[in-house]
């Protein structure tokens, strides 16, 4: 049975939706396949979203669409409202092989060559989300301050406060903080990041084309995306090789991967608990 009558009118009115099929897989929003007179669309919606959630995602999708080189694609934003988005439909089911991996690596390198004069949110936005965890995106010209003091530090404080990580992690962070400039690596211009680039946010369609979805886009250090890609796997050697050929990484980047995995580990500890807090503590101990 169609669920179209349950959907927000500001998202579906005028789209001639004749069927709405619930989809599984979302952690935050309800998702639907919309069958319309003009073809299929994808809808994600939430009855009481955190402020600006969908506006931030929409802005990120549009920024990625404008700057991600072909053949990698980004779904078009068809409709947006404070309660959801309607997006271009993607027919999934394609296989990932060396060619799709290399295509993705080269396109990501091209995306990261899009630069800005400050780190932080798109168009001066001052806050955003990783999952449903709010993060500070106030523009800054200082990457170390942005990453360490306005991202790692506040997330660690929250994780300790909510019992998601051992309080001893705060002492480790205090020992690491004096080395922050060294650990963050050589200066690089602020790059346009996907911002939440785990394997589930890169999909391959039935024609073997890569797509980027569900961004937490902002201006940051490009090694953040590379570190996230390696946290849960799902990206092949051909992807990283093609990236490195198109846009070589600074010396020592692989030693900084755990450092730049701290933020997603802390977010996962806050949102999901489990072993993520212990994993973040091990990273801090490694550098302390």
Residues acting as catalytic residues:
196
Name the residue among 263, 140, 109, 273 with its Cα closest to residue 195.
263
Which class for 65: exposed (0-12), middle (13-18), buried (19 or more C-beta within 10 A)?
A: middle
Q: Are 16 and 1 in contact (CB under 8 A)?
A: no
Give the helix/strand (H/E) hosting 218: strand 218-220
Q: What are phi and psi of 19, to 5 degrees?
A: -160, 140
The maximal CA–CA distance of the chain, rounded, in angstroms, is 60
If one counts every other C-beta atom within 10 angstroms of the C-beta of residue 9, the result is 9
Q: What are phi and psi of 49, to 5 degrees?
A: -70, 160
Name the residue among 56, 32, 52, 60 with its Cα closest to residue 44.
32
Q: Are 132 and 26 in contact (CB under 8 A)?
A: no
């Amino acid at each position: 049975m169609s669920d179209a009558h349950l959907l927000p009118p500001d998202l579906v009115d005028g789209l001639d939706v004749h069927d709405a099929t619930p989809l599984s897989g979302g952690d935050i929003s309800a998702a639907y396949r919309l069958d319309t007179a003009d073809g299929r669309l994808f809808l994600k919606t939430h009855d009481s979203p955190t402020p600006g959630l969908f506006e931030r995602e929409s802005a990120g999708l549009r920024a990625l669409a404008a700057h991600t080189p072909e053949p990698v694609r980004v779904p078009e934003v068809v409709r947006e409202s404070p309660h959801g988005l309607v997006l271009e439909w993607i027919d999934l089911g394609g296989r990932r092989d060396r060619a799709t991996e290399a295509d993705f690596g080269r396109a990501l390198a091209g995306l990261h060559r899009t630069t800005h004069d400050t780190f932080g949110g798109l168009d001066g936005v001052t806050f955003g989300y990783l999952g449903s965890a709010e993060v500070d995106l106030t523009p800054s010209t200082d990457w170390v301050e942005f990453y360490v003091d306005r991202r790692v530090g506040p997330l660690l404080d929250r994780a300790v406060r909510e019992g998601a990580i051992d309080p001893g992690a705060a002492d480790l962070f205090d020992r690491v903080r004096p080395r922050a400039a060294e650990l963050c690596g050589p200066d690089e211009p602020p790059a346009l990041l996907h911002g939440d680039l785990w394997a589930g946010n890169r999909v391959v369609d039935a024609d073997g084309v890569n797509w980027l979805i569900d961004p937490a886009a902002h201006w940051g250090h490009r090694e953040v995306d590379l570190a996230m890609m390696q946290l849960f796997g799902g990206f092949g050697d051909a992807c990283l090789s093609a990236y490195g050929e198109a846009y070589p990484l600074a010396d020592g980047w692989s030693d900084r991967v755990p450092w730049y995995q701290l933020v997603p580990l802390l977010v996962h500890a806050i949102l999901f608990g489990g072993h993520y807090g212990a994993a973040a503590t091990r990273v801090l101990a490694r550098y302390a």
